[in-house]
Amino acid sequence: MIALLFLATLFVYSEGMIQIQKEIYTQILSALLPKRRNIKIWAENPRTLLALQNIPFVHIVSKPQKADILIIYKNKTILSPQICNKIVLSESYRLIKQEKECIVGGFFWHKGRPNIIFLERNLYKHHIHLPKELEQFIEDEL
């Protein structure tokens, strides 16, 4: 009985995190490409895919080359010069620091809280102007 209660609590917590992740990604993606009605996304993290699949304007693609935006979690080997010409987000602060020449920003969890970062130089490179509500997350250096 205790195990069942624990599993139910874990499920509710996980579903809540996916919903929060969906809401944050909805805001981030529509800010990055505000005029697009259909954004092609490639993501390597299955949890992220769960959150993204219910965003109406998101279309999940199976190949990074076909994506408008890539969301990487651990696989930095995917970051070829061709891919770095696309908008790349990371779900790892460490990866953002390591690949700051390529990654536009990121959304990740730290100590149970969502964190959002955008790198000013890469936003400029992609001609992205964030709305006022996201400007607080722009960093000029890490």
Per-domain boundaries in the chain:
2-139
Q: What is the pLDDT of residue 85?
A: 92
Residue 114 three-state SS: strand
Residue 39 confidence (pLDDT) above 70: yes
* 3-7, 62-66, 109-113: segment of lowest average pLDDT: 3-7
Q: What is the pLDDT of residue 30?
A: 95
Q: What sign does the dihedral 14-73-71-61 (CA atoms) show?
A: negative
Residue 29 confidence (pLDDT) above 90: yes
Output the average pLDDT for the chain: 87
CA distance 10 to 58: 27
Tens-place pLDDT, residues 2-18: 443 333 333 434 567 88
Please provide the CATH number assigned to the domain covering 2-139.
3.40.50
18 vs 123, more confident: 123
With residue 50 as reference, give the H or E element that holds it: helix 46-52
